[in-house]
Amino acid sequence: WGMNAPFLGLGSSYASQSHITVPTQLGTDTNWKTAAAGFGFFLAVKNDNTLWAWGGGDNGQLGNGTTTSSPLPIQIGTATDWETVEADSQSSFAIKTDGTLWAWGRNINGQLGNGTQTNLFIPTQITTTSDWQAISTGSVTTSSALKTDGSLYSWGSNEFGTLGDGTYVNQLSPLRINSCDLDTEDFDKNQKANLYPNPVQNNLF
């Protein structure tokens, strides 16, 4: 539901409606796992870990190798190892089940993280590492991601200091953001500490 421009993916029978004001089922499939919305386009992963996209594609954000829009969900490539997707206004991101990071679409401020400012029309691996855990995007073409070791990386536009590196300089590739890294040796053994949640898994508060 929402603005139906260029396409919400509901097909030609809804083409004349500029807005869909109630939740409306998209097709008949019942095997969608996760989805993300950009500005006028959408990404989704099914339970079989296939990647799908629809809506506007003027900057290659659908990942179908063109700048052509799609009124209905189309499968992107044939890979069956996609885990999660994320989108900003006209850029697309995904993490595969093997922990690799992928991006495509608009790249005006280097928000795709491939070291250039050139748009990408198909999913392209970003860095050679395979320990990416989560990615988030911002409205000012800034991208941030976490690795499995808890380290934070960011790249893209830094106009307002949004990268967190203490500068206003754009970054075209993932940049590790310095933080307080503590090892067990750094804690005072004479001080009492309460851990929450217990047992601790990913986060320590």
Residues 170-180: pLDDT tens digits? 999 999 998 65
pLDDT at 199: 63
Mean pLDDT for the stretch of residues 89-98: 97
Q: Quickly count: other Cβ atoms within 10 Å of residue 194's Cβ.
A: 6
Q: Which whole number is the average pLDDT over 100-125? A: 98
Averaged pLDDT score across all residues of the chain: 90
Task: Average the pLDDT over 6-27 and give the result.
Answer: 92
How many CB atoms are closer than 10 A to CB 34? 14
Average pLDDT of 75-88? 98
Confidence at 194, pLDDT banded by 50, 70, 90: low
How high is the pLDDT of residue 175?
Answer: 97
Mean pLDDT of all residues in 190-204: 57
* pLDDT over 90 at 200, yes or no: no
Beta strands in 10-140 (DSSP E): 19-20, 32-37, 41-46, 51-55, 70-75, 82-87, 91-96, 101-105, 120-126, 132-137
In this prediction, residue 196 carries a pLDDT of 58
Task: Check residue 204 and give its pLDDT.
Answer: 54
Query: Residue 129 pLDDT more than 50?
Result: yes
Query: What is the pTM for the complete model shown?
Result: 0.85
Q: Per-residue confidence at 185, pLDDT binned at 50, 70, 90?
A: low
**pLDDT exceeds 70 at position 144:** yes
pLDDT exceeds 80 at position 202: no
